[in-house]
Amino acid sequence: MTVKTSVSFTDRHHEFANKKAKEGVYNSVSSVVAAGIELVMQDEAEREVALKVMGDTIKRRMQTPRKEWVEMNEEDALFIKAKARLQSSQSK
């Protein structure tokens, strides 16, 4: 089913959509808009999955008995390696 609706664009967005339709990348401006909406829907679905996985992980870790926790401090090799990797990735 197709539904007609009215939308407003900035000049920049309108020019881009028209250009893509004229180039044949999309059949029409409506197709450009539909493709953009699909990307937003996909992004939202992926975000929901990631948030659920993070939530599940946090819940699982909260159920871990404290005696099983791995304590980390500044002298731990793993902590030092992780910190160095984070610093090197931030300097790029």
Asked if residue 79 is part of any domain, the answer here is no
For the chain, the residue count is 92
Q: Residue 11 — pLDDT band, cuts 50, 70, 90?
A: very high
Res. 30: pLDDT tops 80: yes
Instruction: Determine the Cα angle at 15 with ends 30 and 21, to 5°.
Output: 45
Asked if residue 80 is part of any domain, the answer here is no
Q: What share of the chain is helix, strand, coil (3-state, %, to 5)?
A: 70, 0, 30
Give the pLDDT confidence score for residue 18 in this predicted structure: 97
Q: pLDDT tens, 41-89? A: 999 999 999 999 999 999 998 998 888 877 777 777 877 888 888 888 8
Asked if residue 24 is part of any domain, the answer here is yes
The C-alpha atoms of residue 20 and residue 33 are separated, in whole angstroms, by 11
The C-alpha atoms of residue 20 and residue 11 are separated, in whole angstroms, by 14
The C-alpha atoms of residue 73 and residue 33 are separated, in whole angstroms, by 51
Asked if residue 74 is part of any domain, the answer here is no
Q: How many domains does the chain have?
A: 1
Asked if residue 32 is part of any domain, the answer here is yes
